[in-house]
Structure 1
Amino acid sequence: MNWIFHDSHNLYYRNPFGALECDSIVTLRIKITCSDNIEEVKVRLCNENVEGKSNEEVHMNLIHDEDNIKIFEIKVKMINKIHLLWYYFIVKINGKIYYYGNNIQGLGGVGHIYDHTPLSYQITVHKKNNNTPNWFKHSIIYQIFVDRFYNGNEKDIVLKPKRDMIIRSNWSDTPSYIKDDKGRVIYFDYFGGNLLGIIKKLSYLKELGINLIYLNPIFEAASNHKYDTGDYKKIDSMFGDEDIFRKLCDEAKKLGMSIILDGVFSHTGSDSIYFNKEKKYDTIGAYQSKDSKYYSWYKFKEYPYNYECWWGVETLPNVNELDESFQDFIINSKDSILKKWMSIGIHGWRLDVADELPKEFIQNFKKEMKNIKDDSILIGEVWEDASNKISYGELREYLLGYELDSVMNYPFRKIILDFMLGEINALDVHKNFMKLYESYPLHHFYSMMNLIGSHDVPRILTLLGDSPEEHSLSEKEKREIRLSDDKKRLALSRLKLLTIIQMTFPGVPSIYYGDEVGVEGYSDPLNRRTYPWEHENKEILKWYKKLAHIRNKYSIMRTGRWISIYPEENVYGYIRMIENSKDVFGEDSQDNLAVILINRSENSDIDLTINVNELVGWNVEKLHDLIEEETVDLKDGTLHLKLNKLQGVILMKNV
């Protein structure tokens, strides 16, 4: 099967590894084991970007010919333009054409022989000197859905209740939506969480190990989730006001924490100062008159009743992000929304539905944001591989240097969740992670927002407890179902393994509020239950604190080199290392080495033998288990280890 062979993960066959800068050179090699006459070997190159594609077939040179093993080579220079380079090989033997390209899964590494045009290998070609803020790589994010985190008012008084809403009198009630017969929400429920509550819990977040807080939308809006912005210039009165938000930024900064906001710029609310369909505002909105200064922001099909809206939700009219007055309002003007909130003290933004924002808008937003604060961070909501995402027929350039610093790493979540639930094995985990590692520019790979929970997916504990499939349950059943004691123990054991990976993997861990204390729930609104103050699961909270402490203490877990290993189908792991006193980015650091392993099996202890010296080229005699706090001896550089069922280890050389 491998008589034609190329491995994009092996430096002999592709050097350098992974994403490349514009104008750089890559060496490609292919090995052919064959006694027949090889008439021709070519590589087909396709430079793809948003302006178009260019294809060429280039002859490869024979550099080795011995014992029927022939090696062909070519050096390819990247064009001086951000793009994706796709390649595959064409081999002609005795008049027959063979193709060699990416494997059927498209994961890179060892490829496949085809008798037709194959899947191509990808090389991501990014901006020269492309980087991301270093401070962000050393962060741990905590995501807060404000209404459900904590009410900081005395006697739990709810700030300035609005019409058409339900105030929950019991903090532990189950959230729900009141809908009409067409499925439209007519009443939102509120629990009273606010910005003052976050200020009062900053010490809790500090103790947890957090240094970056990501807030779901906080601007004035009719709903509890606030993704239907009513006024970008105002904090929602139920959360507080501008003064209290400024205080939050100041108090967080004193504790070494930064704040980032959710920027919802692909649409507004219909009940907004800009659209004003419900006539709640004194201004003339786009819905009321074509003479409105906001009219050009929106896309009317038949004025005023038929307008373009987000995924058909009529309360979320889409905006034209390329409209000059809209971009001035959000980005460019002296008192723009971007500048207003950056000046108050935030350290960046998360862009909602980045796929639906034009590249020009994101580029302009990032450029102006960096002009204001050059080390600010821009994160995009992207659910797929962000290196080759096609949205609305256009290849996106999220990670090529001019747009995003990071994306929400949903592929990371899917990979480790699928592994834990038995959908894939350790080799599959390795291949899928290597695909991201190979495709993402290095700075971005180490800046991914590595989440296992968010406001858009079911609670991680519910999924890890083998709960019934959500689609099989009625609304009533979904609200009432809770994990049994046995299933909760299983879920907690699995969660501990997932968090070992999350806290030691390249990228930035993100904790969705309440996951660290065992909150359960299916999809929205059940994944937005309140934080259970005074009813926390202390076992998992202690675990989170321990792992966050390990990550924060040892820079190797943040910017050390990463080597993926898969010693057994139920055991996945990797090595983190810093050598020659420099981390991956050339920053000064202490030489160190760590081995991380998890055994997902519920039933079997597994004996492992791993030659660590061979993998890292070091002489390693002892490793210290940071979880059990005991020493593990290596024999001739080989690790002999028994991993109990559902056990994970973090073994470090220098402690």
Structure 2
Amino acid sequence: MMDMTTWILHDSHRAEFRSPFGAVPCATPISLAVAVDSRQPVDSVILRLWKYGREEEKITMQPAAEKEGRKFYRAAITAPAIQGWLWYFFIIVQGDRVFYYGNNPQNLGGEGCLYDHEPPSYQITVYKQDNATPHWFKEAVMYQIFVDRFCNGHAEGKILNPKQHCVIYPDWDAVPQYGRDPQTGKTVCFDIFGGNLLGVLKKLPYLKDLGINVIYLNPIFEAASNHKYDTGDYKKVDPMYGDNRLFQELCAKAAELGISVILDGVFSHTGSDSIYFNREGRYPSLGAYQSKDSPYYSWYRFIEYPHRYECWWGVETLPNVNETDPSYQDFIVTGEDSVIKYWMKLGAKGWRLDVVDELPDEFIKKIRTTMKQLDPQSVLIGEVWEDASNKVSYGAMRQYLLGEELDSVMNYPFRRAWLDFMTGQSDARELHRRLMSLYENYPLEQFYAAMNLLGSHDVERVLTLLCGAPPADLLSREEQARFKPSREQERLGLARLKLLVLVQMTFPGVPCIYYGDEAGLHGYKDPLNRATYPWGKENRELLAWYKKVIGLRNRYDVLKTGHWQPVYHEGQVYGYLRKISQGKDVFGRPKQDNLALVLVNAGTDREARLTIHLGCSYNGSLSDLLPGAGHYRVQDGVLQLTLAPLTGKLLMDEGWQ
């Protein structure tokens, strides 16, 4: 990268340089431009395209209008007729020198950089014309439940059908831990608290009162562990949790309250202790480990039969499966009574695919096709930790968001960006660049359906991270288990979490609450992030805040599918508009005109005096919908106000035009 970067400019976020913005449907005309300082003579400007992942094209760009001392060079292209990606950068020839202008080193889009060598390319996601995600889901609020830790539906605390090699805690509030072999470090026993589906059923009124529309259940199928990611029987609820009839009842009762249930699908591997592999010999079936004559033998890849086989991340209790095997596909997806169909017929509204990057694209496409045939409004979510639009796994670009696979992905980049901002590890400009990158790369349907999470069963509790707890790698497991925040740390963490909840409930996408976050649970990573819900010991102030802000989201369409427009990103203050104008939301559906402004000051020690340009000719008064409500005058689209440290505002005009 070169230092002299001011005489050439391309900004993929601005319409004068790239139009239309962001991801586009197949066959969409696209205008691209680069601006060169008028005082710098150039011989040629070339647009270098890379198409279909294999085809290069170089287009000489034509000089156009001059503006503010810059000469614009333009090229008109058309997106491919089939879904995929376009990649581009610019080549500027000046005498005997050749310059390259491409994406910035962080690959975040927007303003790029000048290089003296081939640069990183800009991305254009090209998706199917009929790409769509269910509107009901885009408007929902999710709640993730790790069943063993949520609620025991038996008042006397009865534990249903405990497993061998499990430790049952007599105290619901005990600290979770795994029993590990001191020599090998392998887990030799699991801790059980006794949560079950009856408990989820009995807490449906709580979830309804909280404002929840979707329950996402961690795996519930029979398995040897407490986490159930080592499936033993895909067609059976684990007896610790209940039975299939109870699951059906749960779905029916939830539906009566307007709540849908989504299941966790673990299809890249099974348990070694399963009907299908049966290494431990606990099942009456003939497992693949026992005989090559097993009907399940072709599901697995043996290196040296039977003791050496491919495993998920080398964990021998999790043998990998061959998802392309016809009998496996028939059993999981396509058969008359496949796993996908069986549970959807019992009431499941969708699936979250565990480690989706380990599933072949064709397998994912078959799952989607099967689901949509059974229920066009069902939802398919993938576990992706990075930007899902350009995810590479096993050497291949993944097709998650191109219109034939996922409706939604777990939005870990959203979580990481906001956590870094709230804890002072990045400023508002960096946050803005990271959010805009997702906005630019994701099709609008998936951007508004993204599963916006702050916590999950795989990461530290959000409150622990926000309160300034020591990094996990500086503490032993025992020290992590003993960690208790000071009063000042807790105050800081709660203030930050309230701001993040405000963002989560007003940002495009589907907010997902990890059970207990709303009650103030702490915890480092697994197993400490899987403590039990503290019934009767919740942080009432935090819980009330969640209900308040979720209620506002559920009340106002503008906070769900209104247009999103960032308006302020300086220092530790970030602000964005959500708006519905001329009676239509971002998807063109009839909705009431509305304007909402969200502001967040993540700074801990100083107030911010703000002048905010709303980008429209609005004149009127905005009302603060949060506690301490006030009214703020806007003149010619300009708002001036002061924002105290660790404070957020949700300002709204319900009838603007």
Fold shared per TM-score above 0.5: yes
CA distance in 2: counterparts of 1:433 and 1:548, whole angstroms:
22
Instruction: Evaluate the alpha carbon distance shift between residue 570 and residue 69 of structure 1 in structure 2; reply closer, same or farther with a 3 A threshold.
Output: closer
Q: Please, which of 201, 204, 217 is the counterpart of residue 206 of structure 2?
A: 204
1:46 to 43, 50, 73: 50
How much has 1:447 moved relative to structure 2? 0.4
Partner of residue 151, structure 1: 152
Within the alignment, does 1:638 sit opposite 2:638 as a pair? yes
Equivalent residue for 2:650? 650
The aligned counterpart of 2:259 is 257
Three-state SS of the structure 2 residue aligned to 1:552 is: helix
Match of 1:162 in 2: 163
Q: 5 Å matches for 1:12-161?
A: 12-49=16-53, 53-64=54-65, 69-161=70-162
Which of 320, 333, 343 is residue 318 of structure 1 equivalent to? 320
Contact 2:463 2:521 in 1 (8 A): yes
Maintained 8 Å contact 2:432/2:569 = no
CA contact (8 A) 1:152 1:197 kept: yes
CA-to-aligned-CA distance 1:75-134 (integer Å, 9 cap, x gap): 111111111100001111123211111112211111111111111110000111211010
Structure 1 residue 487 and structure 2 residue 525: aligned? no
Q: Give the distance between the partners of 1:176 and 1:37, measured in 2 at CA.
A: 68
Cα distance in 2 for partners of 1:226, 1:163 equals 14
Q: 2:359 aligns with which of 357, 371, 377?
A: 357
Give 1:635 shift: 3.8
Q: Secondary structure at the match of 2:293?
A: coil
Q: Which amino acid aligns with 2:436?
A: M
Runs of 4 or more consecutive aligned structure 1 residues displaced over 6 Å after TM superposition: none
C-alpha contact 2:312 2:320 (8 A) present in aligned 1: yes
Cα distance in 2 for partners of 1:66, 1:528 equals: 58
Kindly state the Cα deviation for residue 68 of structure 1 after the two structures are TM-superposed: 6.1
1:189 and 2:188 correspond: no
Distance (Å, rounded) in 2 between the aligned partners of 1:506 and 1:174: 36
Q: For the residues of structure 1 that align with 2:419 and 2:441, how far apart are their CA atoms?
A: 21
| Structure 2 letter corresponding to 1:128 | Q
- How many Å apart are 1:602 and its aligned residue? 1.0
Q: Deviations over 1:508-535 (max 9, x none)?
A: 0000000001000000000000000010
Please give the secondary structure, in 2, of the residue aligned with 1:314: strand
The farther-off stretch of 315-324 and 625-634 is 625-634
Q: Distance in 2 between matches of 1:553 and 1:80?
A: 40
What amino acid sits opposite 1:30 in the alignment?
A: V
Which amino acid is the alignment partner of residue 620 of structure 1? Answer: N
SS of aligned partner of 1:46: strand
Q: Give the letter for the 1:416 counterpart.
A: W
Match of 2:405 in 1: 403
Residues 36 and 94, structure 1, Cα contact 8 Å, conserved in 2: no
C-alpha distance in 1 between matches for 2:337 and 2:532? 35
Q: Percent identity?
A: 54
Task: Give the drift of 1:69.
Answer: 3.4
Q: Give the Cα–Cα distance (whole angstroms) in 2 for the partners of residues 68 and 254 of structure 1.
A: 63
Pairwise CA distance, 1:636? 4.2
Deviation digits for residues 384-415 of structure 1, max 9, x if unmatched?
A: 00000000111101000011010000000000
Find the counterpart in structure 2 of residue 231 from structure 1.
233
1:626 is matched with which residue?
A: 625
**Contact 2:102 / 2:121 at 8 angstroms: preserved in 1?**
yes
Say what the alpha-carbon RMSD is for the aligned residues: 1.1
Aligned pairs (5 A) from 1:394-473: 394-473=396-475
> CA offset at residue 481 of structure 1?
0.8
Offset at residue 65 of structure 1 (A) = 5.1
- In the aligned structure 1, how far is the partner of 2:541 from the partner of 2:619? 33
- Alpha-carbon separation, structure 2, partners of 1:256 and 1:357: 32
Counterpart-to-counterpart distance in 2, 1:103 and 1:67: 23
Alpha-carbon shift at residue 619 of structure 1 (Å): 2.0
Q: Secondary structure at the match of 1:648?
A: strand
1:274-293 equivalences in 2 (<5 Å): 274-293=276-295
Residues 79, 636 of structure 1: alpha-carbon distance in 2 compared, 3 angstrom cutoff:
closer
Q: Is the 8 A contact 1:430 1:565 kept in 2?
A: no
Contact 1:38 1:93 in 2 (8 A): yes
Aligned twin of 2:373? 371
- Counting matched residue pairs gives 649
The 2-side partners of 1:592 and 1:288 are apart by: 64
Moved more, 469-478 or 452-461: 469-478
Worse-matched range after superposition: 105-114 or 390-399? 105-114
Distance in 2 between residues matched to 1:35 and 1:468, nearest whole Å: 54
The CA deviation string for residues 344-401 of structure 1, in whole angstroms up to 9 with x for no partner, is 1110000000010011110111111100000100000000000000001111010000
Determine the structure 1 residue equivalent to 2:179.
Answer: 178
In 2, the alpha carbon distance for the partners of 1:112 and 1:538 equals 49
Contact 1:276-1:285 at 8 Å conserved across structures: yes
How far the C-alpha of 1:474 sits from its partner, in A, is 1.3
> Over residues 250-285 of structure 1, what are the superposed CA-to-partner deviations in whole Å (9 max), with x where a residue is unaligned?
000000000000000000000000000000000000
In 1: Cα distance, 2:121 partner to 2:142 partner: 36
- List alignment gaps of at least 5 residues for structure 2: none
User: 1: CA distance between counterparts of 2:566 and 2:471?
Assistant: 32
| Residue in structure 2 matching 1:525, options 524, 527, 542 | 527
The 3-state SS of whatever aligns with 1:156 is coil
Q: Distance in 2 between matches of 1:633 and 1:122?
A: 40
* Structure-2 separation of matches of 1:48 and 1:105: 23
SS in 2 for 1:634: strand
CA distance in 1, matches of 2:55, 2:142: 41
**Equivalent residues of 1:620, 1:653 under 8 A apart:** no
The 1-side partners of 2:25 and 2:289 are apart by: 47
CA contact (8 A) 1:88 1:99 kept: yes
Unaligned runs of 5+ in 1: none
In structure 1, how many angstroms separate the alpha carbons of the residues matched to 2:275 and 2:468?
45
Query: Secondary structure at the residue paired with 1:355?
Result: helix
1:10 is matched with 14
Task: Report the TM-score when normalising by structure 2.
Answer: 0.97
The match for 2:222 among 220, 223, 236 is 220
| Distance of 2:85 and 2:590 partners within structure 1 | 32
